[in-house]
Structure 1
Amino acid sequence: MDPPTPPLGAAPRNLRILTFLAALLPLGWLAWKFAFVTDDAFITFRYALNWAEGLGLVYHPGDAPPVEGYSEFLWAILMGVGIRLGVPPEGLSQVLGLTSAVLLLAGWARYASRSIATGPVALVGGALFLGCLPPLAVWSTGGMATMAFCAAVFWLFALTWSKPRARWGIKVFTVGALVVLLRADGAWWVAWILGPALGGVWAGGDKSRFKTLLSATVALVVVWTLHVAWRYGFYGDWLPNTARAKVGISMRAAERGYNYLMHFMLVFPGVLLAFISLGSARCWRERHLGPVLGVVLGTALHVVLTGGDFMAFGRFLVPALPFVALLLCAGLSGLEEQGSPVAAAGYALVCCGLVLPAAFDRDIFPARWRTAFGFRHNTPQALERSEWGQWYRMREQANEFADIGKALKHLAEPGDSVVYGAVGALGFYSGLRVYDRNGLVTREVALRDPLPQATSPGHDKTVPPEFFSRYHPTILDGVWFPGGLGALRLYREKNPGVLREGLKPQDLGGWDLNPRPDQTLLLEYGEEN
């Protein structure tokens, strides 16, 4: 006969603190290891800068109508407030991201100890797994709202499915509004959390709680509607331009999204093992494991429908990971309650061991397995690149584009413009008019039909620099080349055609702020410049 299940909510305070620390310590170390700001974050920073300067939430002041080339409305406002207060967005975004990570872990430890498990092995094991997940650490910085959104989604779930306390409905509404406004697609997660909750409360016959939850849900629908109406009035479109720039909901997107999921599971097989642990979980209804699983599946469905994301370490799946850790915690609790704490501890350590290697550029399975589910189709090298390699490339490219932007700020004349495919750091630091080859901030590119060949997520409608020739852009391309002119000549002799023919060296001599004095800046100017 199985031992009785201990009452939930009985975990002592010291155990809750230990649970929190078990997640915080590995996550903090990994976040320090992966600290960076991705190039796309600088797109939002430029919108925030213009807003802070009174020019509106726009990329190019004066455009009518402007283009919504960002997906994180509330994040842009927060960055703008920081700029007005004299706080650079590069630092503020990282501080807010790390703070959000701490709030997430605190909320996870609180909810898990009250609603999922009471045993030390289950709580500490689940928390350790959560803290060892590299995607959470990577996107605790990154400069984007990913971790703030993840924390808001989790807290919305925890509040919704916890015992109502004082001002419960107001708290659910407030956190839900954060979810709706932090990301353009935030309403998707609100629906996956509040929808099942409304159904469950209605079926349970708790009319008072149902009325409160329904009122909060209706209020959130109003918030979402007002934001969409504002978007249409200000930008002239119901959807952000970032959504228009992608392939849209289609079989092609679904195939790429499926590959995204399979690739993630092959890189982090410990996540799949966490699912398998559910076979040992007990008291599904009391622990709300169905709704927990629903959020995970809803996030996976979102990935399939949208076609995934090109960025490193499964950014689109990050909101699901705290819920995967809850599922593992429930499975470990089942083992612990059945008198197998050693087996539970071993299972938790194996799960951690099957997610950590990716943080050190190591594969659990042969690399060709994940390559078979490649979704970054820019180049063969991109398909084969590991998640660590993709993160490293993103970090280095953001620095490279930032330095090009600073150089252009030094070189450019009033009215100059540039054509580029990565418009974040280059656009933020240069302040120039940028024609976006990928269409995130250029509407006419985003409204084109997708390219016929397989593409990387977010690069579905990329155009060549010549597409913008009718606007007579000043600069068509720019790269840094390691070394001086002698090395450049030798490189071109041995590798003809690798660098665009029109790229010419720029003289940055005498500029005290030159970010790369040991390299040569190559720019390609338009025909009329």
Structure 2
Amino acid sequence: MSLRAGGGARLRFDLAIVGIGSLALLLYARSFRFFCDDAFISLRYARNFATLGAPVYNAGERVEGYTSFAWMAITALFMRAGLDGVAAAQVAGALSGVFLVASTWWLWTSMEPEHPWVGVFVIAGLALSAPVAAWTLGGLETPLFAALVVASIGVVARVAGSPSRSSGVWAGAAFAVSTLARPEGAALFAVVVIVVAVFAARRPLLRCALADAVLTYSVLVGAFVAWRWWYYGAPLPNTFYLKMSGERPEMLRRGLRYLSLALRDFGPACTVTLLACMLVPARPAGQDAPDDRGATVRRTTLWIARIFTAVMIGYVAWIGGDFLDLDRFLVPLFPLIAVVVGAAACRALELLSPAIPPVALSFSLLCATLFPYAVRQSTTLNQRARAISEPTRADADVEPLGWTALYARRWAAMGRWIAAHAQPDDWMATGAAGAMPFYAGIRNLDRLGLCDAYVARAGEKLSDRPGHQRVAPLSYTLSKDPVFLMIDDAALDAPEPPPRDPYWESKGYVWMVVRLDARYGASPPSWHKFLMRKDRAAALIPEDGVESALTAP
């Protein structure tokens, strides 16, 4: 079956594959019941953007503590339309998941129009990937960036096949948008420029299209950087200054541990298969004419996918990996990996099809690659990720999704408790800068510095864990006069008496333990231990579910 002919039949086939693949991905994503605490940082910016017209964490403070401007702006639009934070992020994630499936299918049919049924396996492998599914509705920009990576490569592959001045402009704009979704989009564009420049050596029209793409990208991204510098006072996001402050050798060791965990999750058989597929040429030598458009599209796509995969793996190691589970930084590579493996399978089909019927070959491909991969993704990896505590994750200092989801719910409940007991001008201070401050609705000092410029650059060294390299000095923390102070931010499974602490009482604070129940969205109930300003804590002593060190013997 060729997708080059039969307009109506082709459209129905395309819509069916994209629809079924998207449905499978979204159903799998829903099964994780996961929403990341860090997503609430961007959502707090989005809420202020939607309601105040200012993309800020605290009103009146211009600090760029989010990673993805595109994601923040999209969720702000949904919140402006009336959705709450979680719903806005999950609608954006679901749409991004559909976009990811559609762009992967579009890239595949551009590259391998003669092999649609192999493309079905490509889409199935993508939809059944646990990391892709988990992060689709996880609240962060991961699915949007992954979709933009694939779509941008699809645009540039078509430009390479049929270059024109207007197509170069569209390609530059696509990569600019991907860079606004995540900074790694700039690395992808650099890879594209190198690869296309090689193919453009003897093609004047392609050189012109590449020049137009570079100019368009430079203008759009340059304008955004100029706006960022003017608005936030720095050429790069605040998160960059924080995350680059760790010790480089230790960060590299952490990054290699992170990649080692990803390879163990991927499995030795899949890893060996992928490495072998990376070496398979776009077409057997001598079968393509030099000016064959299809060959150009295939070669361009595969070389970009291979080089960008290598660049991203090196980059992830260099920045120290991640503390969140299921390969968040590697998810944009999954559709590219699926396309590379699918292309290698097509070459095998072409070599063996004279001797073996295509149906038998397709079934063999399913049994040899997709079935073992899907079983591993849906059983072993899925179960490990859902755990609250899991040894292989602990060894790599990575939080299982089960732990992340649990504490996001607990911190959200604590935020609702604070909202019920805070006054509009109150400050709080916590390193858990996501759900708790989002639901508290008051100003927060991010003690770990993602949303605080001073801490990101001059905070005390804490660790080499990504995003946890610095912490606010106590003098700086107390200068904000926070009413709610999360120094030992402890969510408890059972109540414990709040201790008397002469040191903190001399600073004007007492330990509190509060019970969080269904009134605050906690199910099952939990308890939270924190410091509270003494003058405000005294008024809460009679309240049910609140214990204060002021009443301790």
DSSP 3-state at the match of 1:219: helix
Corresponding position of 2:316: 303
The code of the aligned residue for 2:406 comes to E
Q: Deviations 1:7-29 (Å, cap 9, x if unpaired)?
A: 99689837655654664354233
Alignment of 1:25-64 (within 5 A): 25-54=23-52, 56-63=54-61
User: Is the CA contact (8 Å cut-off) linking 1:435 and 1:468 kept in structure 2?
Assistant: yes
1:319 is displaced (CA, Å) by: 1.1
CA distance in 2, matches of 1:56, 1:152: 26
1:74 corresponds to 2:70:
yes
Aligned partner of 1:108 in structure 2 is 104
Gaps of 5+ in 2: 285-294, 500-508, 537-553
User: 1:64-119: per-residue Cα shift (whole Å, max 9, x none)?
Assistant: xx211111112222222222222223212211211111122122122213313633
Query: C-alpha deviations, 1:21-50, integer Å up to 9, x for none?
Result: 664354233111124321111111111222
- Kindly indicate whether residue 305 of structure 2 is the aligned counterpart of residue 292 of structure 1: yes
DSSP 3-state at the match of 1:38: coil
Farther off after superposition, 258-267 or 150-159: 258-267
In structure 1, the partner of 2:470 is 461
SS at the partner of 1:193?
Answer: helix
2:292 is matched with none
Matched residue, 2:211: 214
Please say if 1:191 is aligned against 2:190: yes
Cα RMSD over matched residues? 3.3
Equivalent AA in structure 1 for residue 88 of structure 2: L
Measure the CA separation in 2 of the matches of 1:17 and 1:482: 48
| Aligned equivalents of 2:380, 2:461: Cα separation in 1 | 32
From the superposition, tell whether residues 375 and 244 of structure 1 become closer, same or farther in structure 2 (CA, over 3 Å). Answer: farther
| In 2, Cα distance between equivalents of 1:362 and 1:52 | 38
Equivalenced residue count is 490
Higher relative contact order at CA 8 Å, sep ≥6: structure 1 or structure 2? 1
* Aligned partners of 2:132 and 2:143 also within 8 Å: yes
The answer on whether the counterparts of 2:515 and 2:526 sit within 8 Å (CA) in structure 1 is: no
Residues 10 and 199 of structure 1, relative CA distance in 2, 3 Å threshold: farther
Contact kept, 8 Å, 2:168 with 2:211, in 1: the verdict is no
The residue that corresponds to 1:125 in the other structure is 121
Identity of aligned residues (%): 24
Change (3 A) 1:18 1:346: farther
**Which 10-residue stretch deviates more, 234-243 or 48-57?**
48-57
2:532 matched residue in structure 1: 525
- Secondary structure (helix, strand or coil) at the match of 1:315 reads coil
Counterpart Cα distance in 1 of 2:17 and 2:496 = 55
Q: Does 1:357 align with 2:383?
A: no
2:262 is paired with a residue whose SS is helix
Counterpart of 2:260 (choices 259, 262, 283) is: 262
Q: Alpha-carbon deviation of 1:189? A: 1.9
Partner of 1:392: 402
Note the alpha carbon deviations across 1:235-278, whole angstroms, 9 max, x for none. 11122111112135833322222222121111112355333234
Select which of 135, 139, 149 maps to 2:131.
135
Whether the aligned pair in 2 keeps the contact of 1:257 and 1:304 (CA below 8 Å) is: yes
- CA change 1:358–1:207 in 2 (3 A) is farther
Q: Contact 1:375 / 1:457 at 8 angstroms: preserved in 2? A: no
Tell me which moved more, 191-200 or 279-288.
279-288
Task: Find the counterpart in structure 1 of residue 436 from structure 2.
Answer: 426
CA–CA separation in structure 2 for the residues paired with 1:429 and 1:369: 32
Q: Does 1:274 align with 2:274?
A: yes
Tell me if structure 1 keeps the 8 A contact 2:97–2:147: yes
Q: Shift of the alpha carbon at 1:224?
A: 1.5
1:126 Cα deviation after fit: 2.3
Within the candidate set 315, 320, 333, 2:346 is matched to 333
Q: 1:211 to 1:248 in 2, by over 3 A?
A: farther
Q: Where does structure 1 lack aligned partners over 5 or more consecutive residues?
A: 1-5, 377-381, 493-500
CA distance in 2: counterparts of 1:423 and 1:368, whole angstroms: 24
